[in-house]
Amino acid sequence: MKKKNPTLYLSIMIIFFATLSMTGCSTLDPRRVDIELPVEPPLAKETIFDQALKDLGKMTEIYGNYSVTVQSIVVGDETGVSHGDLTQGEIPQRISEMTNSSLNAIGGKIVFIPYLPNYINSMQTVGYSNLERKRTPDVILTGGITEFDRGLETRGKNTDYGFGTEPLSDATTFFDSQTINADYSSGEKVSVATITLDSNLIDYQTFAGISGVQAVNTIKVFKANKEKELGFSLFGPSFGLMGSILKVQGRHAAVRLLVQLNTIEVIGKLYNLPYWRLLPNFSEDTTVLTDIGAEFLQWDEITRIIKTQELLFLSGYDILVTGNLDSNTLDALRSFDQGFNSETGEVSVDMYIALYQNVPLNNDALARRKMFDRQLQVLLQSIQQGAILPAPGSREVERRS
């Protein structure tokens, strides 16, 4: 019997399977090959102040504020250190679009008007622009980065630097909602960058600054080589906040936080709103509370009662706007403050401020605002017909009419 040649046999098998494989591949139409690619949906860029901006717009409506058109001119780095390669792009050279986005996100009684001089000039050149139909701003938001310090660094094996934060319950996917305890003691380089942003409001008609309406806040960004996140501390005259941002977002994200915070503070001060209720770890703005108290003392008695009834109604008490401290109003005041002296029938400044700060910021209060405005119109008609005689100098009643 003739022995098989194993080498020849192996060669024949290789040729056979190779031919079979080529034949199978030739039946595949590359146009019909279904390849499943991993697709991830785009992630929304959110910060812990995004919701606060929206709530500020709702606050302007609930408190019955007048509409204001706001324009933001060029906002950038006033220190000059971000130009060129000095900071390797660690802070954005232009912050105008961040400011525009913050203003436009508020809504409510705030109307954002972009600053587009080049575009308007171009439209005029081709004859497409009609400036008579353009809205002019009431106020102008100005600002810029006024301080930037990136030179604080520690090196060596004995480096020991750490910080911690409490959980941010309202944090989004942009932030780690868990408690952060970072201990930078690995002997690697640790750096601290301090960035300060100033913002001011200017009256468009007079080009004069609006007194007391400004914001100056600072953010510190902590960076360590071995960490996946950057720690940050936000602080200003009346608050402090700690948290983290991703390294890939870096100091640009930190500047966005500053812009949003300053925008909330400036608009809140413009309207004398308790804007600090929208921000974590924020204490009361004594300047705003002082202005609210001073305004209350300047009103006549009828206006004080009407404004008190307004706050009670917005807070959920079912009372009528009468301009008098009737029994329903007195009961509501006693319910709000057990220490209220119904015998004297006087609302103190402190009680009015307490009412002002505790108006609910929800859709029910927004609906009650519309109901109250209708009630107020009925009261004003009664005043005009002589059924109720307002005290002299009732500016609030005259303004609302």
Helix axes 50-62, 96-106, angle to 10 degrees: 40
Instruction: Mark 238-277 as b/e (b = at least 16 C-beta within 10 Å).
Output: bbebbbbbeeeebbebbbbbbbbbbbbbbbbbbbbbbbbb
d(CA 259, CA 101): 10
C-alpha pair distances (Å), 255 with each of 70, 93, 232, 310, 365:
21, 11, 11, 39, 33
Contact between residue 340 and residue 283 where contact means Cβ atoms under 8 Å apart: no
Q: How does pLDDT run across 106-127, given as a tens digit for each residue?
A: 999 999 998 877 777 777 777 6
pTM to 2 decimals? 0.73
Q: Which residue in the block uniquely carries the two structure tokens 């640009």?
A: 252
What is the spatial distance between Cα 35 and Cα 384, in angstroms, rounded to a whole number?
77
d(C-alpha 217, C-alpha 46), whole Å:
20
Identify the CA nearest to 57 among candidates 89, 98, 104.
104
Gap between the Cα atoms of 257 and 276, Å rounded: 15
pLDDT score at 126: 74
The predicted pLDDT at position 239 comes to 65
Domains belonging to the chain, first-starting first, are 50-278 (3.40.50), 290-400 (no CATH)
Question: Would you say 223 and 151 are in contact if contact means Cβ atoms under 8 Å apart?
Answer: no
pLDDT in tens, 73-85: 878 777 765 554 4
383 vs 391: CA distance, rounded Å: 11
Residues 336 and 381 sit within 8 Å (Cβ to Cβ): no
- At 66 the three-state DSSP class reads coil
Query: How many Cβ atoms sit within 10 Å of the Cβ of residue 128?
Result: 8
Q: How far apart are CA 320 and CA 329, in angstroms?
A: 8
Under-50 pLDDT residues of the chain? 15-20, 22-26, 28, 30-39, 41-43, 84-88, 152-187, 248, 389-401
The DSSP letter of residue 94 is: B
What pLDDT does residue 381 have? 82
374: left (phi > 0), else alpha (psi -120 to 50), else beta?
alpha
For the purposes of burial, counting CB atoms within 10 Å of the CB of 215, is it exposed (0-12), middle (13-18) or buried (19 or more)? Answer: buried
Q: Which phi and psi angles does 368 have, rounded to 5°?
A: -65, -30
